[in-house]
Structure 1
């Protein structure tokens, strides 16, 4: 017998869910609405006009900050983190399917960064690279490479320390997802491929990878989105340049026009585009995998 949807409990739960959704997405909606104000718009309601004025202002630049360069840096770092996260997570997932000596210890070491405060991780990585800088400079001086020493800046950078900092955040999630995938994976498919003469690489390329491809796309989406909006782990490990979230954080104290909201809307659109592409690609790969199994 179906429970009536007119019960008091149902409506209380529905109200709680509606408030929860409003709490989650209300701030984003407010930012989007305020970013489309007219030239006389301010940082709060009421809404004054409706236009793309502040997006044009954003394209012109916000003071001395090069938003376009920061956007390109964040995209490049996010895509690099995504690639590393996917490859390393898949390889680690395959490795952990077998009994590894010290595997439990290795697993806890990998996921330990999830419980460490992000700013502490960032400070530690920044300190490591500064110690590396000191060692490199001392080595160059010892070997008499004065010209190289004069040109040397720092090892801190977008694709060195910042990349490592972001991977301490994305890799544990990727590894946990791969564990869940392979715990449900039926090894009979691989056994059938071996019985038909497939090599280990062919079994992975033509059997395992197509079956796990939708989940691998999800790992890539996680890797990109977690990197795209990361601030704490980047702040002390980025070096002399800033990613878009760091620039956005700095601008909140200096920019007092809706241009800051326009920038927030742009970053949000990029995030949703990536998630939409990932979900669409995952569904497409899932349908293809089901068709191949049914064929």
Structure 2
């Protein structure tokens, strides 16, 4: 009969309840942090709330003790941007290379993907140890041959050396897997048509391949930034003297006992959502332009 609703399967409601509980478990703590960050000056770390205000955001802006949250925020943004750019470029180059039979490609692929399987803290400890051994070798050479430089040399550990390498072991495998999926669906007929029209390999890449896979590259960039933005375990032993915002946030959880820690969590989450919203907007506009 027209207008009659289709009956639900017997297992629909139990599965719907399980799914609702899963969503509540996944996002409930985040929503609680959002709400508690807007408490009044007398607010605590738990419910019930004590008033509504932006007091803890102002406190965060003024600074938390000896920790410079603003500097850590800027460091994380800069590192995330560098990781994003390198992830996009290296994943794209790897995806293009794997379109043809690459000598040694299989062992190289497994070596890259293996970093996803290894415990993150082990990867961080290994990179930190490697750079400390590198420090020993550099200091020995400088002491023997360049005494003036030896006095000023500190360490090779740093945000854009060991820290960058540690985060790339996390972002590059994801970028590579995404590029494999993209090129597996890519229709080579477009390139063949451009080749028949006399386009050079560079022209085919710039005017055919990149415009077609552009939205996917934007997605790879989003993955690179967001994975770097909230990364802790792989960065914990590899950042050197300067910490990123997630590492500072982890340290604050043991010393800060006011909702200012929730305000900081809200700000970092809003940045992540802003990056995702910007990415989706760019992808939507790109696809619309391509269809037009």
TM-score by length of 2: 0.97
Q: CA deviation at 1:125?
A: 0.5
Task: Tell me the equivalent position of 1:200.
Answer: 201
Task: Tell me the equivalent position of 1:40.
Answer: 42
Task: Tell me the equivalent position of 2:19.
Answer: 17
Structure-1 separation of matches of 2:281 and 2:15? 31
Superposed, 1:95-174 pairs within 5 Å as 95-143=97-145, 145-174=146-175
Task: Tell me the equivalent position of 2:71.
Answer: 69
Cα 1:7–1:188 change in 2 (3 A) is closer
Task: Tell me the equivalent position of 2:247.
Answer: 246
Structure-1 separation of matches of 2:124 and 2:7? 50
1:273 to 2:277 alignment = no
Structure-1 separation of matches of 2:288 and 2:276? 18
Structure-1 separation of matches of 2:290 and 2:117? 36
Partner deviation per Cα, 1:171-219 (whole Å, 9 max, x = no partner): 0000000000000000000000011111101101010001000110000
Superposed, 1:215-234 pairs within 5 Å as 215-234=216-235
Partner deviation per Cα, 1:24-58 (whole Å, 9 max, x = no partner): 11111000000000001000000110000000010
Structure-2 separation of matches of 1:243 and 1:204? 36
Structure-1 separation of matches of 2:200 and 2:28? 53
Q: CA deviation at 1:3?
A: 7.9
Structure-1 separation of matches of 2:202 and 2:58? 52
Superposed, 1:257-268 pairs within 5 Å as 257-268=258-269
Q: Decide which moves more: 281-290 or 86-95.
A: 281-290
SS at match of 1:232: coil
Structure-2 separation of matches of 1:130 and 1:239? 10
Structure-1 separation of matches of 2:115 and 2:271? 27
Superposed, 1:274-289 pairs within 5 Å as 274-289=275-290
Gaps of 5+ in 1: none
Structure-1 separation of matches of 2:56 and 2:244? 21
SS at match of 2:103: coil
Q: CA deviation at 1:9?
A: 2.0
Q: CA deviation at 1:8?
A: 4.0
Partner deviation per Cα, 1:57-92 (whole Å, 9 max, x = no partner): 101111100000000000000000000000000000
Q: CA deviation at 1:18?
A: 1.3
Q: CA deviation at 1:100?
A: 1.0
SS at match of 1:92: helix
Gaps of 5+ in 2: none
Q: CA deviation at 1:17?
A: 1.6
Cα 1:6–1:98 change in 2 (3 A) is closer
| 1:51 aligned to which of 46, 50, 53 | 53
